[in-house]
Structure 1
Amino acid sequence: MTTVLAIDQGTSGTKAMVVDGADQVLSVVELPVRPHYLSGGGVEQDPQELLDSVLDSGRQAVAAAGVPVECVTLANQGETVLAWDPATGRPLSQAIVWQDRRAAEICAKRGDSAELVGERTGLVLDPYFSAPKMRWIREQLTTEGVVTTSDAWLVRQLTGEFVTDASTASRSLLIDLDSVSWDPELLALFDLAEEDLPRIVTNDEVIGETTLFGEPAPVGGLVVDQQAALLAQRCLTPGEAKCTFGTGAFLLANMGQAPVRSSSGLAASVAWRVRGGTSYCFDGQVATAASAVRWLQGLGLIQGASDLDRVATADSDGVLCVPALAGLSAPWWAPDARASFSGMTLSTEAGHLVKAVLDGIAAQVAELVDCAARDIGKPLSRLRVDGGLTRSRVLMQAVADLLQVQVDVYPSAHATALGAAGFARAAADPGLPLDQAVVDWTPSTSFAPQLGADTAAAFRARWRVAVDTALTSDRKIQEDS
C-alpha cells in the first residue's frame, strides 16, 4: 500500500506522521499550537501558527522517515473558521475555534428556524458548528475575502485548490445532509448566500499536488479529525462507536448509509464519502476534556495530565462537577452553560476536585452513549477509545463504570493520523476497498465495569440533578442581568 504523510492539525497541536504501506509508523513529529481563551467565551488561534506547524511538522517527519512519500493528507479540526484573501492566501482574521461560543446570539436570532436546520442538516442550531462563526466573523471582524473552515485555507496553501471534504462540510449547518451539497436556503438563513464557497470533494479524492514537503506528491483523502479516528478504530458496521479523548471528548457511532436524523439530541453528519457511496454517523461532543485538565493544571491542582491518577482520590467524597467550561454540547446544547462544583465541605481536598472533574467528563460521555443507543435502537456492547486522556486509568475506569460496558483502548496514540492515512490510501489506489486501507487492531488495555449497576445509576441520577441545577442557575443569572 501507499506510503503516506498524514498531518493531523488539531486544537492544541499538529502531528505529522509518515506511515508505510504496512501501516508501520516511520516517523512522528508533534508541535504545539496555542489556543487563546478570551473572556466572553472566545477561543482563537493564530492562522500563521497553524500553517507553520503543518509545514514544520510535515517537513521534519519526512526528513526523519528517510523514504519517498507517495501521498499527503490532512485531518482538520472540523468547525474552526477564518477569513482569508483568496488571491494571496493571506489570513484576514484569527481562526475562530470550534469551542468559541460568541456566536450564540446569532443562533438565538434564528431560533425560529431551528427545526428547519435540524431536518435539513442533521445538526443542531448551535455556535459549535461553522456557519454561526462564519456569520460572526462577517458581522464583527471583516467583510473582505472568503470565510471558510480552516481546512480549506490550509489546503489552499498546500496545493492552490479551493476545496473542503464532505465530512467537514457536513459540520457547517450549510449543507443538505441527503445530497451533501451547499443548500441555498441555509446559506440565506445565515446571510452567507453571496459567499464564495469551496468545492465539496469526496474523502477518497486526489485534489491536487504539493511540493512543500520535498518531491511533488499528490494530496488527497481529506477528512475531519473525528471521522478519521472512526475509520482507524474500524467502526465500519452500523452501531459500532468510538470516543476520542482530546481537547474535547467526541463520541461517534456509525449509522450506515441512511442519513437518519437523531431523535435524542445528537448530531448526524457524514462519516465519509468514498467509492461512490456515503456513510453517516451520529456524534456528540464533550466540549472540555483535556482542556478541563489544563484548567486544573492552571489552578495548580495537578502538574499535568500525567499527574491525574496520582492526585485523584479513590472517590470524590460527594463532590460533583459539571465541567461545562466551554458550555454544554449534546444533548443539552446550552452554549452559555457554566461549570459548577457542588457537595464541597471543609474536608474537600484537591484530589476530590480532580476526581470530580474526571467523573464529570465520564458522566457526559455516558449520556452521549445512552443517546446513541436510543438512536441506533440497541445498547452498545463496547466502546472503543483513543486520545491522550486514555492514559488516565482513573478516567477510563470511570467511563466503563458509568457506561456499564467494556472500554477498549486503541493501541496507538495516533488514531486520527492513521485514519487519515487510510483515506489517503483509498485516494491513491481507487481499487483498494476502504476496510483494507486500515489495519485491524487489538486493545492495548481494556476496562470492565467495577461499579455495580445500581451504584452507577444512582451516581448518574445525582449528576443529572447537578446539571439541571447548573442550567437553572445560569438561566436565572442571565434573566437578572
Structure 2
Amino acid sequence: MTGPVLAVDQGTSGTKALVVCPERGVIGTGFAEVHPRHLPGGLVEIDPEELYRSVRDAGSRALAEAREPVIALGLANQGETVLAWDPDTGRPLTDALVWQDRRAESICTELAPHAEELQTLTGLPLDPYFAAPKMAWIRRHLTRQGLVTTSDAWLIHRLTGAYATDAATAGRTQLLDLDGAQWSPRALALYGLSDERLPEVVDNAQPVATTREFGPEIPLTGLAVDQQAALLAQRITEPGGAKCTYGTGAFLLAHTGDTPRHGASGLVSCVAWRLAGHTSYCLDGQVYTAASAVRWLTDLGVIKGAADLDTLGGTVPDSGGVTFVPALAGLAAPWWRGDLRGSLTGLGLDTGPGHLVRALCEGIADQVAELADAAAADLGAPLSALRVDGGLTRSTLLMQTQADLLQRPVEVSALPDATALGVATLARLGAQPGLTIAEALPDWKPSAVYEPRITADEAAERRAGFRAEVNALLERSAERKPAEPKAGPA
C-alpha cells in the first residue's frame, strides 16, 4: 500500500500537520496555534481540549490543501505533558501540565533519596520536567479519578478509542525500565502509581487503530516524541551523530545504538525508537528556554520578534561584556537544577538592546555547547558536526554563534518541519511492512553550513565566562539550600 501520509506534530505553541507524498514531498500543510498559560511559581498549563482541537484543525487543513486521500496517520507529541482524563467519555479531568511546569518539585524533593535508583532504572534524573512527578502530583493534589497519562495517550484515545503510548514517549515518564522498554514496577511503587492502569507500550511504527476524526477512516501507524522524530528525520540512525532542535526549548539528541548509555555526563539516556521490537537508544540534553526566551525578550519590548535577532544583534560587534544565563524556566541538562532562575550580568550605562540580543544568543549557544561536550564525553569521541532544525535556525547570528562556541560545523537542515517529517516516516514504516528506514526517510541536505570563525582559545574564554555565571548561580543557591529532605517511600 503506497500513497501520501498525514503527519501531525502536536507541539507546545501549536500543531503542525503535513500531507507527505513519497514522490512529490509535502503536498498539504496546516497549522493551529495553542496557548499555554504561564503562571506564577513556574506553573505552565493548557486546556487539553485546545490541544485536541489543534490536532483536528491542523490535520483537516493539511488534508483540504492536499485534496488527496492518505494511507496512514502519524502523531508526534510533546513528550512530558500530562493530564488526568475519563476513559469512558474521553473528557479531561484536569488541565494539561506542560513539560515546562515545575509544580511537582515537592514530589522530587521527597524522592531525592531514591534519585540514583530511579536514574539507574529509567535513565532519567529526578526532575519535575519528566512525566511521573507531574502524574504523582495530579494524583495527590487534583484527582484520583480516571486515568493519568502523557498527552499522547489521551490524544490517541480521542482519535481512535485505543489506549496506547509508544516506547519513546513511555521512556520520557521515568516509569519505564530502560533496559527492557517495559513499565517498571519499582518506579511505579516509588511514585505511588502502582495501581494506575497505564497504556500499552507499542512500537513507534505499527498499526495501532483507526480514526474517522478527519473524515475517511485512516489507520494510525506512527507515533513518536517530537525530538526523537526530528532525530530520525535528520537521518541520525547510527551512533556518533547528533542533532539539536531550536524550538520553545533547545534539545540535543545523540544516537547511541542498541544499548542504553548510563553515563555520568548529566545527559538523559532514553529510547530513540522501537521498530519491529528492536529498541534503539539516544542521549538527550535539554535547554528549557530557547524560542521562549526570545518571546520573553519580545514581551519586554527589547525586540519585536525573532526576526530582530539578526538586525538588532548586528548593530554591535559583541555582547559588550554582558552575560545572559537564560534559565527562565530552570537550568536543565547537564546541571538539572530546575529551581534556579536566570541571570543577566555585566550591565552598564553603555548596554544597549543589541548587547542583550547577542548575550541571549550566546547564552542559548553556550548551553547547547555544554550538551554537545557532555554527549561527546559519554560517547567517547567528539561530535564531527551538529545537525540543527527548528524556527530559530533562521537566525544567522544564533547559528554562527553556535558554530563559534561549539568549534564544530553547524549544518542547518533544509527540511523546515523535521518533527512532522520524522513521524511521517514512522507512519509509512507502520503502513508498509518491509520498507526500510532509508527508503522511508526524506532526502537530507543542509540549507546552510556555519563554520567556526573564532579561534578555539577565544571560544574557550567566552564559554568560561558563561560557566562562571552558572557556577555563581549554583553557589548562591547552595547558600540558601534548606535541610536535607526526609526519605520517601521505600
Q: Look up the equivalent residue of 2:357 and give its one-letter code.
A: V
CA distance in 2, matches of 1:398, 1:258: 33
Please state how far the C-alpha of 1:434 moved relative to its aligned partner.
1.4
Q: Look up the equivalent residue of 1:27 and give its one-letter code.
A: G
Q: Look up the equivalent residue of 2:381 and give its one-letter code.
A: K
Number of equivalenced pairs: 480
Corresponding residue for residue 50 of structure 2? 49
Preserved CA contact (<8 Å) 1:152 1:162:
yes
CA distance in 2, matches of 1:138, 1:89: 18
Corresponding residue for residue 295 of structure 1? 296
Q: Aligned pair 1:363/2:366, yes or no?
A: yes
Q: Aligned pair 1:177/2:178, yes or no?
A: yes
CA offset digits 1:222-275 (Å, max 9, x no partner):
111000000000001101100000000000000000122122110000001002
CA distance in 2, matches of 1:310, 1:478: 42
CA distance in 1, matches of 2:24, 2:270: 28
Corresponding residue for residue 471 of structure 1? 474
Of 417, 423, 426 in structure 2, the residue corresponding to residue 423 of structure 1 is: 426
CA distance in 2, matches of 1:101, 1:350: 30
CA distance in 1, matches of 2:286, 2:274: 22
Preserved CA contact (<8 Å) 2:122 2:175:
yes
Corresponding residue for residue 33 of structure 1? 34
Corresponding residue for residue 239 of structure 1? 240
Listed as ranges, the gaps of 5+ residues in structure 2 are 484-490
**Equivalences for 1:5-404 in 2 at 5 Å?**
5-22=6-23, 24-312=25-313, 313-404=316-407
CA offset digits 1:385-435 (Å, max 9, x no partner):
000000001000111001100000000211000000000011001100112
CA distance in 1, matches of 2:195, 2:3: 40
CA offset digits 1:43-97 (Å, max 9, x no partner):
1011011000000111111011000011011000000000000110000111001
Corresponding residue for residue 443 of structure 2? 440
CA distance in 1, matches of 2:317, 2:214: 48
Please state how far the C-alpha of 1:478 moved relative to its aligned partner.
5.5
Indicate how the Cα distance of structure 1 residues 201 and 395 shifts in structure 2: closer, same or farther if over 3 A, else same: same
CA distance in 2, matches of 1:314, 1:91: 51
CA distance in 2, matches of 1:7, 1:87: 25
Indicate how the Cα distance of structure 1 residues 409 and 183 shifts in structure 2: closer, same or farther if over 3 A, else same: same
Preserved CA contact (<8 Å) 1:338 1:474:
no
22-31 or 440-449: which moved more?
Answer: 22-31
Please state how far the C-alpha of 1:377 moved relative to its aligned partner.
0.7
Secondary structure of 1:110's counterpart equals helix
Preserved CA contact (<8 Å) 2:332 2:338:
yes
Q: Look up the equivalent residue of 2:473 and give its one-letter code.
A: A
Instruction: Compute the TM-score of the two structures, normalised by the length of structure 2.
Output: 0.97
Q: Look up the equivalent residue of 1:38 and give its one-letter code.
A: L
Preserved CA contact (<8 Å) 2:415 2:444:
no
Secondary structure of 1:222's counterpart equals strand
Q: Look up the equivalent residue of 1:388 and give its one-letter code.
A: G
Secondary structure of 1:133's counterpart equals helix
Q: Look up the equivalent residue of 1:440 and give its one-letter code.
A: D
Secondary structure of 2:32's counterpart equals strand
Q: Look up the equivalent residue of 2:407 and give its one-letter code.
A: Q
Q: Aligned pair 1:409/2:412, yes or no?
A: yes
Preserved CA contact (<8 Å) 1:249 1:287:
yes
Preserved CA contact (<8 Å) 2:30 2:60:
no
Please state how far the C-alpha of 1:31 moved relative to its aligned partner.
1.4
Listed as ranges, the gaps of 5+ residues in structure 1 are none
CA offset digits 1:312-362 (Å, max 9, x no partner):
133100100000000011100001010001111111111111111110000
Of 458, 463, 466 in structure 2, the residue corresponding to residue 460 of structure 1 is: 463
CA distance in 1, matches of 2:325, 2:24: 39
Q: Look up the equivalent residue of 1:303 and give its one-letter code.
A: K
Preserved CA contact (<8 Å) 1:319 1:341:
yes
Please state how far the C-alpha of 1:474 moved relative to its aligned partner.
3.3
Indicate how the Cα distance of structure 1 residues 83 and 12 shifts in structure 2: closer, same or farther if over 3 A, else same: same
Preserved CA contact (<8 Å) 1:390 1:396:
yes
Please state how far the C-alpha of 1:21 moved relative to its aligned partner.
1.8
Please state how far the C-alpha of 1:477 moved relative to its aligned partner.
4.6
Q: Look up the equivalent residue of 2:239 and give its one-letter code.
A: P
Secondary structure of 1:305's counterpart equals coil
Corresponding residue for residue 486 of structure 2? none
Corresponding residue for residue 4 of structure 1? 5
Preserved CA contact (<8 Å) 2:118 2:126:
yes
CA distance in 2, matches of 1:457, 1:475: 26
Preserved CA contact (<8 Å) 1:23 1:438:
no
Indicate how the Cα distance of structure 1 residues 238 and 166 shifts in structure 2: closer, same or farther if over 3 A, else same: same
Preserved CA contact (<8 Å) 1:232 1:416:
yes
Q: Look up the equivalent residue of 1:61 and give its one-letter code.
A: A
Preserved CA contact (<8 Å) 2:29 2:63:
no
CA distance in 2, matches of 1:345, 1:23: 54
Preserved CA contact (<8 Å) 1:236 1:435:
no
Preserved CA contact (<8 Å) 1:47 1:91:
yes
Corresponding residue for residue 487 of structure 2? none
470-479 or 208-217: which moved more?
Answer: 470-479
Among all aligned residue pairs of Structure 1 and Structure 2, give the percentage whose two residues are the same amino acid. 56
Instruction: Compute the TM-score of the two structures, normalised by the length of structure 1.
Output: 0.98
CA distance in 2, matches of 1:214, 1:400: 46
CA distance in 2, matches of 1:112, 1:345: 44
Q: Look up the equivalent residue of 1:465 and give its one-letter code.
A: A
Preserved CA contact (<8 Å) 1:6 1:417:
yes
78-87 or 137-146: which moved more?
Answer: 137-146
CA offset digits 1:122-181 (Å, max 9, x no partner):
110111110001011112211111100000000001000000000000011001001110
Preserved CA contact (<8 Å) 2:168 2:225:
yes
Secondary structure of 1:29's counterpart equals strand
